[in-house]
Chain A
Amino acid sequence: MSKKNKQDPRLPDETFEPYEEPRLIPLPVYWIAIALAIWGVVTLVQTSNAGHFADKERAALGEKTASVASPAASTAAPDTGAGKALFADNCSSCHGDAGEGVADAIPPLHASDVIKAGGASAISQIVMRGIGGPLIVDKANYDGEMPSFSSVLSDTEIAAIADYVATDLNGMNSTVSPDQVAEIRTASEDMDPWDGGAGLASLINGLPPQPASENASAPSPEATATASLASQGTANIWSCASCHGDKGEGTQTVPRLAGLAPAYLAKQLHDFSKGTRISDSMAYVAKSLSETQITELANYYGAMSSPSGAQPALKGDLARGEQLALSGDYSKNVPACFTCHGTSGIGVGAQFPGLAAQQPAYIAHQLAMWAGGARHNSPLGLMAGIGKALSDEDRRAVADYLASLPPAAGNAKTALAVSPTLKETTNVQ
């Protein structure tokens, strides 16, 4: 390869560097790039406050939840119309719009001798703790259960209701201040409902004669054994209370048991054990229980009164939930919950469990299970149709609304007869 060897002109020049003529980027590409950039900046500006917007919505929701979560916190003075409105929302479904009551079932609040003897303070006590058992009002006998409203109403609201009932319905000159209600709340924490008229006699001086209490007897050995089964379990099964809580109030997808009808509880335990209701953990427990234990546990939880352990937690629309619970949605073929499950969701018989103060996650979860067919043990397949008709938002709305209600009180009178050969529902009335 010396210089003498001149390159063959037929071969390409090895020193040649390829080059390209400068070619300008076509103008449309610039336009597109500029348009994209402008679009990007505009989108950035437009959406930059989306986070703040969501913050506001969250704050509003947070306030709403907080006001439900800690009703005791608000201490604003009650206004005059509030008591009437609160009475209509919380009391009138049982006691009637004017507090007239229902003959032989619900005591009147209008011109009632018990209220005239006790005044607004006694009303606050009863609203706070609830009451159950025999009671004589205006010489008529009553024997019902009223739930505690302590988890649902704030001190101010209870004071407003008590003032309304005492002054407007009974013409008394008796009021109670939110601060006094706050003292009652502190004093009645973890207390059982008032034990009928006998219990009220210890609270109110000059009460008309009242029937004797039915709950005076000491717990029987069987009752103690059942309580121990519920709180300690046995050698190979877990205790009920370890998941359902010491007071049967439930948590998340673990349901509240306190105050549910014994016949319903016993049916569910049988269904778990037969596999017609599906839950691995409950099947494990139910298969290890004897018939007698099932009956006794059902009676134990049926007679239990405990405060609500639930509060709205699924960001459901409470107004929509109330609509579904009270009047249903006939555009979707969904009947009102309360037509079957009883006024205020307190439950009816063996087939329709109480829903009030049930855990919202449990309700929403069960509705989804009905819809999907994973739960299918309702009479006539009623709940499957309802579950399918409800949207996800509706399920959360109704679950949150039910969680905001006061819990149904326990009722020992629906207890099942304890018999080793007991099969389904022997309801002793």
Chain B
Amino acid sequence: MNRYLPLAIVSLAILAFATLLLVIVPGMQIAADGVAPGLKPYTAAEARGRAVYVSMGCLYCHSQQPRDEAQAPDGERGWGRASVAGDYAYDAPHQLGTMRTGPDLMNIGDRLPSQDWQLTHLYQPRAISNWSIMPAYPFLFTHKDKAGPTDVVVKLPPAYAPKTGVIVANQDALDLVSYLQGMKHDYAPPGDGLRDNGYAQIDARQMPQTDAAKAAQ
């Protein structure tokens, strides 16, 4: 161990090389990709709802990254098309998530657009699915004797409804539902959008059977 200098130089060089290829180059690629055409910036309510989403740690159980048809049946589950980098242009930090304890939420606004459903489900997931392991969020709601003129009353089955009075949604719950309702990435992805190419090569070999190949020829 008497050649510290070359060792240090080589290890730093490896680190720099890895940073270049894993951080700097992808960063430049993604920055050049820009906003996906069709993606709208968050409204004020959606932005507040996103903050609630982050603070509640939804990310620990819900991903936001549907995968390609060739890799997973996400499209058939109604989770939407495979996402591209431009879909996350307004997300900092992104909420990609890695766990799918619950379903993917990238297109939850398409799949379950109902505000009433979302409020009932947030208040008590077991009211809808008795096997659900999602935590309930009763602290986002208030028990009132009588709903005010602007209050949004949560629709509940008798078994979960309070004996007297009503459950109304707090602003946080309404914002969170706005955010979820806004999760609609149903516009066509840009043709050159950055994404996982999936089994593109395998697809390509099988392509002669499909229309797309005929059209391309």
Would you give the shortest CB distance from A329 to chain B, in whole angstroms? 14
Residues of B within 8 A of A317 (CB): 209-211
The answer to whether A251 touches B192, judged by C-beta atoms less than 8 angstroms apart, is no
Contacting residue for A62 out of B77, B128, B191, CB 8 A: B191
B53-90 vs A, CB cutoff 8 Å, 1 = contact: the mask equals 00000000000000001000101111011000000000
Which stretch (B6-14, B20-28, B114-122, B133-141) binds chain A?
A: B114-122
Whether A396 sits at the interface, judged by CB under 8 Å, is yes
The answer to whether A235 touches B129, judged by C-beta atoms less than 8 angstroms apart, is no
Which bracket fits the contact residues of B?
35 or more
Residues of B within 8 A of A336 (CB): none
The answer to whether B197 touches A315, judged by C-beta atoms less than 8 angstroms apart, is no
The answer to whether A65 touches B188, judged by C-beta atoms less than 8 angstroms apart, is yes
Whether A380 sits at the interface, judged by CB under 8 Å, is no
Asked if A253 meets B78 with Cβ closer than 8 Å, knowing A60-B216, A238-B155, A243-B113, the reply is yes
Whether A97 sits at the interface, judged by CB under 8 Å, is no
Would you give the shortest CB distance from B58 to chain A, in whole angstroms? 20
Whether B168 sits at the interface, judged by CB under 8 Å, is no
The answer to whether B77 touches A253, judged by C-beta atoms less than 8 angstroms apart, is yes
The answer to whether A54 touches B200, judged by C-beta atoms less than 8 angstroms apart, is yes
Give CA–CA (A270, B42) in the complex, Å. Answer: 40
B206-217 vs A, CB cutoff 8 Å, 1 = contact: the mask equals 010111110110
Would you give the shortest CB distance from B203 to chain A, in whole angstroms? 7
Whether B99 sits at the interface, judged by CB under 8 Å, is no
Would you give the shortest CB distance from B55 to chain A, in whole angstroms? 26
Whether B158 sits at the interface, judged by CB under 8 Å, is yes
In chain B, positions 164-217 with a C-beta closer than 8 Å to chain A are 186, 188-189, 191-192, 197, 200-201, 203-204, 207, 209-213, 215-216
The answer to whether B197 touches A50, judged by C-beta atoms less than 8 angstroms apart, is yes
Whether A242 sits at the interface, judged by CB under 8 Å, is yes
Contacting residue for B113 out of A62, A69, A237, A242, CB 8 A: A242
Whether B156 sits at the interface, judged by CB under 8 Å, is yes
Which stretch (A105-113, A131-139, A197-205, A361-369) binds chain B?
A: A361-369
A386-429 vs B, CB cutoff 8 Å, 1 = contact: the mask equals 00000010011001000000000000000000000000000000
Give CA–CA (A51, B157) in the complex, Å. Answer: 52
Asked if A288 meets B107 with Cβ closer than 8 Å, knowing A58-B191, A60-B215, A239-B114, the reply is no
Residues of B within 8 A of A280 (CB): 128-130
Give CA–CA (A245, B114) in the complex, Å. Answer: 9
Residues of A within 8 A of B127 (CB): 284
Whether A342 sits at the interface, judged by CB under 8 Å, is no
The answer to whether A51 touches B197, judged by C-beta atoms less than 8 angstroms apart, is yes
The answer to whether A237 touches B155, judged by C-beta atoms less than 8 angstroms apart, is yes
In chain A, positions 278-292 with a C-beta closer than 8 Å to chain B are 280-281, 284, 288
Whether B33 sits at the interface, judged by CB under 8 Å, is no
Residues of B within 8 A of A365 (CB): 76-78
Residues of B within 8 A of A364 (CB): 73, 75-76
The answer to whether B128 touches A284, judged by C-beta atoms less than 8 angstroms apart, is yes
Residues of B within 8 A of A144 (CB): none
Give CA–CA (A226, B155) in the complex, Å. Answer: 18
Residues of B within 8 A of A313 (CB): 75, 81, 186
A43-78 vs B, CB cutoff 8 Å, 1 = contact: the mask equals 000010011011111111111111001000000000
Give CA–CA (A238, B115) in the complex, Å. Answer: 9
Asked if A236 meets B76 with Cβ closer than 8 Å, knowing A281-B117, A284-B128, the reply is no
The answer to whether B216 touches A314, judged by C-beta atoms less than 8 angstroms apart, is no
The answer to whether B114 touches A236, judged by C-beta atoms less than 8 angstroms apart, is no
Whether A35 sits at the interface, judged by CB under 8 Å, is no
Give CA–CA (A64, B209) in the complex, Å. Answer: 16
Give CA–CA (A188, B99) in the complex, Å. Answer: 47
The answer to whether A395 touches B112, judged by C-beta atoms less than 8 angstroms apart, is no
Closest 6 CB pairs of A and B: A253-B78, A242-B114, A54-B200, A252-B78, A364-B76, A238-B116
Instruction: Known A-B contacts: A62-B188, A254-B112. Give 20 more (CB < 8 A).
Output: A47-B201, A53-B200, A55-B191, A56-B216, A58-B192, A62-B191, A69-B188, A233-B116, A237-B155, A242-B116, A242-B117, A251-B113, A252-B110, A288-B157, A319-B211, A361-B76, A364-B75, A368-B73, A395-B76, A396-B69
